[in-house]
Amino acid sequence: MGDKSFGRVGLFGKSATLFSIKNSKGMEVLVTDYGATTVSIFVRDRQGELRDVILGYDNAKDYAEHWSYFGATVGRNANRIAGAQISIDGEVYHLEKNDRGNNLHSGSKSLTKVFWDVKSREDNCITFVYNSPDLEEGYPGNATVEVTFEVTEDNDYLIRYHALSDKKTVFNMTNHCYYNLNGAGNGTVLEHVLQINASHYTPCIDQKSIPTGEIAPVEGTPFDFTVAKPIGQDIHADHPQIALANGYDHNFAIDKTMDGVEKAAVIYSQESGIQMEVFTDTPGIQLYTANGVKGEVGKGNTAYENYGAFCLETQYFPNAINEPNFSTPVTDANVPYESTTRYHFSLI
């Protein structure tokens, strides 16, 4: 099936494996059991040539040692938790303060920095499973977490999450691919044209990126992507929220019209002709414009640059566990957590 070694990780040199899943049309995704990480997504451009449209590294060791979360499966909780603590049924759980006094992406180990087991494997699909013990990274409950990656014949990259805990806990999983539809390391994404189905977003208090709790209208702000526009059009606008992040690193409240999976965003590159649509069942989607990746050296010894990619992370809102105005990411004991995100690739 084209699987191969992806290098050794850690003090004892455990070997990671790189798995290939693909369809009959040439679309191929490479994933590794280290962190259940997406390493490459190859899609055809308008000339029929394959382009790898996500940033990343050439070996598992670099994924282990760096903190940009390239391609990561993030959990148990994606994004930030204020004060690095949560309260469930009156019991306080303390998390790692790994981001200026807050908890980011569940901590410095989380599910991103562990080896997952392969539960099932087909030519176009793979399921990883990880058993997370009670209080790992501070989160309650012995939890079994699964993520399934599938490449469909319709050129979808389909990601499905399933988790079950023996205690009430937080589940808020996401995928953290950094996309550049011109190809990884091929300039900035400022000319990519983006539309987000969100008439509101969640402003942040300060540079620590914790939301204020307000769900604010995007109208009249640089955060208005309800009509498609280039990412770079307002990325340096004179706006306090833009100044906080030196670009976009904000959650958008998706205009949900139904339960289940629906379109949240669409983005395309005029240069490559590649378009990507994002479908999800989550209430939010985080737009991050790679504002802090300058200096990261990735695939093929390429030096990445700020604004050289974008992330569209489907999720509950940041700090939702502590914010009564937001939908809660708490899942009851022995009740399955399920979530699906679909990235559909086509040509314009």
Active site residues: 176, 313
Can you tell me the distance from the alpha carbon of 306 to that of 291, in angstroms, rounded to the nearest whole number?
5
Burial class of residue 273 in the structure, from the number of CB atoms within 10 Å of its CB (0-12 exposed, 13-18 middle, 19+ buried) = middle
Nearest CA to 229 out of 189, 264, 184 is that of 189
Q: Which two tokens stand for residue 133?
A: 């013990």
Residue 107 contacts by C-beta under 8 Å, 6 or more apart in sequence?
Answer: 95, 96, 98, 137, 138
Q: Which two tokens stand for residue 123?
A: 């030519």
Can you tell me the distance from the alpha carbon of 219 to that of 232, in angstroms, rounded to the nearest whole number?
17
311-to-92, 198, 251, 268 alpha-carbon distances in Å: 31, 16, 11, 13
Q: Is 168 helix (H, G, I), strand (E, B) or coil?
A: coil
Q: What are phi and psi of 39, to 5 degrees?
A: -95, -40
Q: Is 232 helix (H, G, I), strand (E, B) or coil?
A: helix
Q: Would you say the C-alpha torsion 105, 108, 112, 118 has a positive or negative sign?
A: negative
Q: Which two tokens stand for residue 26?
A: 């040439």
| Plot region of 187 (φ>0 → left; ψ -120 to 50 → alpha; else → beta) | left
Cβ 334 vs Cβ 259: under 8 Å: no
